[in-house]
Structure 1
């Protein structure tokens, strides 16, 4: 009978599914952040949304900005913030996984002062004590806002909710995967009362791998925080702007000597007739061809052709005419 200790190990399972092979290779290789332009856009939107969520709660000016994105090991990211941050663990049901959002000590101290109306005249707190109940409650409020901002930002590529499951003040308990697993960390600078703090977001690479095709796309025409009311007001004000038009019946080129020889009372003959088209100009640029006429005892111009800016005339295809005085 063969000794189990000396029995040869079973051969490793061979992956034959192309999708499984691809996933293993991607997991081992890590993420190339330069090839994920949409991720940068999503994180910028997240920073903007976090700042907007605080505007109606505080009287002071607050500012969030993305300060950096990097890939590495999950455990290495948490070790930097040991005993110096509060971590929020979020569950993303649509991704079947968890992400971590952290708030460092400086951010929490500043956030408490801003929410309670401080003006920044007192010196900043530098005590590394345990977080108070008020500070942890403020962290809970911030996490709730970040969860909504995450849902809106990542909605560009994947619809999922982000539900806060728990908060941790010790990083060794903020476990959402193995410490050796690959992850992406985004850092956000928070500024208020001439002070600054940091928020960090850690996403396991396994959650981002299925989103690679969407994150690799370049979204054209994207405009963040566009306000339709502001756009409508701008359009209305632009349409109220007054524009001066000049009607040119005929142009005559004269030499400097001919101009110098002109005398008072001299008549310059024109070749134009009542049927000659008149050119309408604005800001010294030709805009329309028109014909002269009369309406209700006044001289008018009937626009019948648009002058294209490339020098070629373009007919008014819909047949509509305007009258300009």
Structure 2
């Protein structure tokens, strides 16, 4: 049974009322674009466990509109989830339009996109609501991961609604940020949208206003750590070259079985350590416990060696 209990709107403080008298330009919050780009990438990855056909999510637009206008535009054509954001003491709204649900139904139940899309206007069936619930369960984690670089908080699914009259997250005359996200799969399209009351982001507005052009790198610390761990465990093959000897093709034709090729190298000669044909270090050759060893002495300056090679030629 759906929980359709009406949640009272959050009472705005004096400063919040002043800020909400007009919509804040999305240009003043460039980090929102970064956050939702990360979110759609995670949604595409999460849907792979349910569908053999690739699902591609892309951000269509991000803007500000009055909450009432947003709800009126999607009335009778959507199912929404109310998600509580603990650190903001606020709720946000995530919705799927009918085309989104129909597309996923056909995909998950073996369709190939050849059937005409279902445009019948009717209440959502129990199967469609169950499927929407399954996808909604994936979104709090995607949102939490996407916002984690600027706000460590918990996104918790509260309830599902099919009537937008009960989807109260803020007064209808206040402004909210709406992100419209397009789903493309099997040649079909559907729309997902995320609505965040403008006042909910007051506590992180400064972080959202960061100018990426002035930041050297915007890094996800967990992703950076994972890359470092994977690189440190990666096996590479290296080889040591004691001496480079140059031959002509005629020299090889005169070689005989058992013939010994003398090397000019001595025990004091340095060995060149290479990886994937790229010279890395100069090393000193030695022995320990019956094995040959290499002691790194210096980095190889390829540019310097190249210039010296040209000068000596």
Shorter-chain TM-score above 0.5: yes
Deviation string 1:4-51 (CA, Å, 9 cap, x unpaired) is xxxxxxxxxxxxxxxx77655543454343343432232223223323
Change (3 A) 1:291 1:22: same
Aligned match for 1:155, one of 131, 148, 171: 148
Higher Cα Rg, which structure: 1
Q: 2: CA distance between counterparts of 1:296 and 1:95?
A: 63
How far, CA to CA, are the matches of 1:52 and 1:292 in structure 2?
49
Q: Which residue of 2 aligns with 1:179?
A: 172
Q: 1:62 to 1:234 in 2, by over 3 A?
A: farther
* Aligned residue among 181, 202, 213 for 1:188: 181
Q: 1:198 deviation in Å?
A: 0.6
Q: Hey, what's the Cα distance between the residues in 2 that align with 1:129 and 1:82?
A: 13
Question: TM (normalized to structure 2)?
Answer: 0.69
Give the match for residue 222 of structure 1. Answer: 220
Instruction: Say if 2:85 and 2:153, in contact at 8 Å, map to a contact too.
Output: no
- Give the secondary structure class of the aligned counterpart of 2:122: coil
Structure 1 unaligned runs (5+)? 1-19, 252-271, 314-325
> Counterparts of 1:230-269 in structure 2 under 5 Å?
232=230, 235-236=233-234, 238-239=235-236, 241=237, 243=238, 245-248=240-243
Q: Does 1:165 align with 2:159?
A: yes
Maintained 8 Å contact 1:73/1:183: yes
- Residue number in structure 1 paired with 2:34: 41
**Residues of 2 paired with 1:304 and 1:285: CA distance?**
16
* TM-score, normalised via structure 1 length: 0.67
Show the counterpart of 2:51. Answer: 58
> Are positions 1:89 and 2:87 aligned together?
no
Structure 1 residue 226, shift from structure 2 partner: 8.0
- Secondary structure of residue in 2 paired with 1:188: strand
What is the distance in 2 between the residues matched to 1:164 and 1:117? Answer: 30
* CA RMSD in angstroms, aligned pairs only: 3.9
| Cα distance change on mapping 1:274 and 1:149 into 2, 3 Å | closer
Q: What's the CA shift for 1:288?
A: 3.3
Deviations 1:212-269 (A, max 9, x none): 1232346633388789599748953x51x4x555445899xxxxxxxxxxxxxxxxxx
* Equivalent pair of 2:54/2:185 in contact (CA under 8 Å): yes
What's the offset of the Cα at 1:104?
Answer: 0.6
The one of 202, 208, 225 aligned to 2:201: 208
Any unmatched runs of 5+ in structure 2? 1-12, 247-263, 306-313
Aligned-pair CA distance for 1:273: 8.8
Cα distance 1:285–1:248, how it changes in 2: closer, same or farther (>3 A)? farther
Counterpart-to-counterpart distance in 1, 2:60 and 2:126: 29
Aligned partner of 1:319 in structure 2 is none
Deviation, 1:295, is 8.6
Q: Cα gap change, 1:93/1:196 in structure 2, threshold over 3 Å: closer, same or farther?
A: same
Give the number of equivalent residue pairs: 269
